[in-house]
């Protein structure tokens, strides 16, 4: 990526939005750390520029988006739902030779941007990297981390997400809820897009990963779990395809789950899920879901979002159970003989971990150019950052990657 002389390295688009304000704080924190490192000996105290540049632009005014993109090396796009507001930003960035990172958890948008703009981005030498927040850097980089830590060939991974809350419980801003409503309400469009792509299946290496029941019990975590319905599976599969087709790596099968605690939580979630799936199929149902997020989500989503106390008390753990084959064990017609367990742990997912992941992805894009894909394009985080020091950066900022256990069986 050619870093041209522009007024700003990073521009946060949507800084006044709910998530954008947290991303802006993280950018300021990163800037402060760099200044401290450089100026500590001379000044002996932290300094941060007292003025922040402001660019006024509107998603409905292409000229203003062009003006923003021309002033940035990288745009951090925080304006969703991306199915409505994401493409004009991607288009403006590519046309003006600017890289772009977003935090979309919407598979249809992410996959559509690849098919429409990958070649154009490659020609311009810019990097368009989606899903660079909690969806889906912990999952995508977690699978890569697990693959790097196994003493052999990793062939399959199951991840289990556990969300921890404080005494005041959990709450998520309704912007995420809207993305989910429109995503599930338009699943046929995603199926059509995938059918039209006509991609050759990625080969299954080793024993096939068995799908769990919609409600299953994870003995290792002593918790019931359900399938995780976010973008993680879509993103990880796209990464594994890229690594297989472009870097000749053995592809990893992947399934994602979220723990839900005991049987009472399972029953509550089943009722909420049934209401959601029933209402999301119809236009009037989607309008009701969007108008009353708190009611239909049993209080988990609201137009106000979480309080600072709720944010400060929350955290997440993503546990990866991997299986594979040692270097001395032939893969053909044999059972996996290696088990590995890794974890990614971090602070509150939506408004602390997401800004950290997004900003560190941007800093990696700026500073680790030699280890990025050799040409630009539209990438998943794992495809873009597999060979970079992104995991090291995340570890330093509180998103901790670690090996829990590894053994041959």
The whole-number average pLDDT for the span 112-141 is: 96
Instruction: Read off the pLDDT of each residue in 190-207 and give the average, rounded to a whole number.
Output: 90
- Is residue 106 domain-shared with residue 196, that is, in the same domain? no
DSSP string, 348-372: -IIIIIHHHHHHHHHHHHHH-GGGS
79: left (phi over 0), alpha (psi -120 to 50) or beta: beta
pLDDT tens-digit profile of 188-197? 888 899 888 8
Is 50's pLDDT higher than 90?
Answer: no
Q: Among 82, 100, 129, give the residue marking a domain's end.
A: 129
CA neighbor of 222 nearest in space, from 319, 344, 345: 319
β-pairing, 153-164 with 253-261? parallel
Neighbours of 170 (CB within 10 A): 19
3-state secondary structure 146-177: HHHHCCCEEEEEEEEEEEECCCCCCCEEHHHH
Q: Are residues 179 and 309 in the same domain?
A: yes
CA quadruple 90, 371, 10, 5: dihedral sign: negative
What's 23's domain CATH number? 3.40.50.720
**Model pLDDT, residue 47:** 45
CB atoms within 10 A of CB 175: 19
Domain assignment of residue 368, yes or no: no
Q: Is residue 49 part of a domain?
A: yes
pLDDT at 106: 92
Is the distance from CB of 265 to CB of 237 less than 8 angstroms? no
Residue 178 lies in a domain: yes
- Asked if residues 121 and 99 have their Cβ atoms less than 8 Å apart, the reply is no
**Is residue 367, in this structure, part of any structural domain at all?**
no
Q: By residue range, what is the domain housing residue 33?
A: 8-129
Domain check: are 121 and 183 in the same one?
no
pLDDT digits (tens, 9 = 90+) for 319-351: 999 999 998 888 887 899 999 999 999 999 998
Residue 260: inside a domain: yes
Residues 274 and 323 in one domain: yes
141 backbone dihedrals φ, ψ, rounded to 5°: -75, -25
The span from the CA of 203 to the CA of 156, in Å, is 12
- 184 and 323 part of one domain: yes
Q: How many domains does the chain fold into?
A: 2
Q: Are residues 146 and 94 in the same domain?
A: no
Highest mean pLDDT among 167-181, 220-234, 262-276, 391-405: 391-405
Rounded (10°) CA dihedral 359, 363, 366, 368: -140
pLDDT band at 43 (very low <50, low <70, confident <90, very high): very low
Per-residue pLDDT, 42: 43
Q: Are 189 and 311 in the same domain?
A: yes
- Please identify, among 97, 129, 161, the residue that sits at the C-terminal boundary of a domain: 129
On whether residue 68 sits in a domain, the answer given is: yes
Q: Which residue has the higher pLDDT, 180 or 316?
A: 316
Q: Are residues 180 and 38 in the same domain?
A: no
Give domain status of residue 383, yes or no: no
Integer Cα distance of 147 and 311 in angstroms: 32
370 domain residue, yes or no: no
Whether residues 143 and 287 share a domain: the answer is: yes
Last residue of a domain, one of 129, 149, 179: 129
Do 297 and 176 lie in one domain? The reply is yes
Taking CB atoms within 8 Å and a gap of at least 24, the contacts of 119-125 are: 119/377, 120/94, 121/94, 121/376, 121/377, 121/378, 122/375, 122/376, 122/377, 123/376, 124/94, 124/95, 124/97, 124/376, 125/1, 125/2, 125/97, 125/375, 125/376
Q: Rounded to an integer, what distance in angstroms lies between the CA atom of residue 262 and that of residue 348? A: 22
Whether residues 117 and 141 fall in one domain: no
Same domain, 205 and 285: yes
């Amino acid at each position: 990526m050619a870093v041209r002389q522009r007024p700003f390295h990073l521009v946060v688009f949507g800084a006044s939005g709910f998530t954008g304000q947290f991303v802006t704080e993280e950018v300021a924190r990163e800037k402060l750390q760099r200044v401290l490192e450089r100026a500590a000996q001379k000044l002996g105290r932290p300094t941060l520029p007292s003025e922040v540049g402001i660019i006024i632009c509107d998603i409905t005014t292409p000229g203003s988006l062009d003006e923003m993109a021309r002033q940035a090396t990288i745009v951090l796009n925080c304006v969703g739902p991306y199915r409505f507001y994401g493409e004009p930003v991607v288009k403006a960035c590519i046309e003006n030779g600017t890289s772009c990172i977003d935090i979309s958890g919407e598979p249809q948008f992410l996959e559509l941007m690849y098919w429409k703009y990958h070649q154009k981005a490659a020609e311009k030498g810019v990097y368009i990297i989606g899903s660079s927040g909690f969806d889906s850097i912990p999952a995508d980089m977690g699978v890569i981390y697990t693959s790097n830590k196994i003493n052999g060939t990793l062939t399959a991974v199951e991840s289990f997400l556990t969300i921890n809350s404080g005494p005041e419980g959990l709450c998520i801003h309704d912007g995420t809820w809207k993305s989910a409503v429109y995503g599930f309400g338009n699943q046929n469009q995603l199926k059509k897009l995938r059918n039209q792509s006509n991609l050759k299946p990625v080969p299954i290496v080793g024993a096939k990963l068995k799908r769990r029941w919609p409600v299953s019990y994870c003995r290792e975590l002593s918790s019931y779990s359900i399938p995780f319905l976010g973008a993680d599976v879509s993103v990880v599969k796209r990464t594994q395809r890229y690594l297989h087709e472009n870097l000749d790596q053995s592809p990893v099968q992947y399934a994602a789950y979220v723990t839900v605690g005991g049987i009472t939580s399972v029953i509550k979630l089943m009722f909420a899920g049934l209401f959601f799936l029933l209402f999301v199929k119809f236009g009037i149902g989607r309008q009701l879901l969007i108008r009353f997020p708190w009611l239909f989500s049993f209080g988990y989503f609201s137009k106000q979002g979480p309080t600072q106390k709720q944010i400060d008390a929350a955290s997440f753990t993503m546990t990866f159970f991997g299986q594979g084959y040692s270097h001395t064990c032939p893969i053909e017609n044999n059972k996996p003989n290696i088990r590995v367990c890794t974890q990614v742990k971090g602070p509150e997912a939506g408004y602390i971990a997401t800004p950290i992941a997004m900003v560190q992805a941007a800093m990696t894009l700026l500073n680790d150019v030699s280890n990025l894909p050799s040409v630009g394009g539209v990438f998943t985080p794992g495809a873009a950052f597999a060979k970079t020091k992104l995991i090291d950066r995340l570890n330093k900022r509180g998103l901790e990657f670690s090996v829990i256990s590894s053994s041959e069986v």
